[in-house]
Amino acid sequence: MNHGCVRFFSFTRWAKFLWMVLFLPGNAMAEPPGTGETAAPARLAHYMPHMSWQEVEAYRKSSDMVLIPVGSMEQHGRHLPLNSDIVQATGICLRIARRTGVLVAPAVLAGVSEHHMGFPGTITLTPATFEAVLYETSQSLIAHGFRRLIYYTGHGGNYTSVGNVAFRINRETTATAIDLMHVEFPKPDARITELKNDSHAGVEETSMMLYLAGGLVRMGEAENPVLRYPPEVNEVMEKVDAADRAALLEGMLFQPERSGKKTSTREFTSNGVVTGEDLRTSSADLGRLAVDYRVEGVVRFIQAWKKVRP
């Protein structure tokens, strides 16, 4: 066997895969036009990884606003890919860009995912490392003249750290950074709000992936989880009112194995999925509703911010 040929063949296939998975999120993540292993993928408008430096420079003459998708590389059950949070964050940001003209920066690929490390393929950063990556990414954009930074995170484990970075940017630089966790979104469709305990790789997230990148979803592998909550978590769920339950569970669920709380996903789920719903009810139509209300909320915010200077 000619190992040199094997390496070349593998590289071209891998290069195309990276284009599709990392740089062609959303419905754009289809087979690139053309034929052959080296067919060039289509360029996406408003997407910095596909632009030249001259194009970024030209954009900066008319706008100082940039969207920064923040994702993770972590398990999402048997049926969803490890990069689901990247696909969702970037796909949603690209839809926002089409409506607003705001540039979309490259996604931050790895996040704070220690609570998923029981499943192979998960890559995690410590909060300090993650915050350093996002902060220095932001500093690079600020150095190029961007003064209005908008963070969209697709992974709940990143929320605290993203807020910490926005806090630092606002205190230490001339830029203004907005964590979209603090933006008011429209009320989701009842079919979304009525989903029970649907917090990871469940019906809503599976539906969003079916809508954004259906070719990456393997519904034939979808399997409802068996959830084994520790007794103290069950007690909170049974005895504490909903108004207080969420705050308590935030400190108890999705904690790394080393915490001893028995709530890493490997410890309390049978397959990494956390939902009380039936995964077979997932659909691209429901995913469109879940994506659209998020897009609408951010578009509304950006339109308001464009009326004033930072």
Q: Which segments of the chain does DSSP mark as H helices, in order?
A: 3-22, 53-60, 84-100, 127-143, 159-172, 190-193, 203-213, 231-239, 242-252, 265-268, 284-305
- The pLDDT of 120-149, averaged and rounded, is 98
CA distances from 287 to 13, 165, 206, 265, 292 (A): 29, 30, 8, 24, 8
Q: Which residues contact 194 (CB under 8 A, 6 or more apart)?
A: none
Task: Name the architecture of domain 43-186+291-305.
Answer: 3-Layer(aba) Sandwich (3.40)
Indicate the SS3 state at residue 82: coil
**Residue 5 confidence (pLDDT):** 41
What's the rounded Cα separation, in Å, for the pair 67 and 47? 10
Q: Using CA of residue 263, residue 267, residue 273, residue 275, what is the dihedral sign?
A: negative
**Residue 26 confidence (pLDDT):** 46
| 202 pLDDT tier (thresholds 50, 70, 90) | very high
Count Cβ atoms below 10 Å from residue 222 Cβ, excluding itself: 20
**Residue 100 confidence (pLDDT):** 98
Please give the residue that has the higher pLDDT: either 310 or 287.
287
φ, ψ for residue 178 (rounded to 5)?
-120, 125
Instruction: Write out pLDDT tens, residues 49-107.
Output: 999 999 999 999 999 999 999 999 999 999 999 999 999 999 999 999 999 999 999 99
**Residue 310 confidence (pLDDT):** 55
User: Which pTM was predicted?
Assistant: 0.87
Domain residues of the chain, as ranges?
43-186+291-305
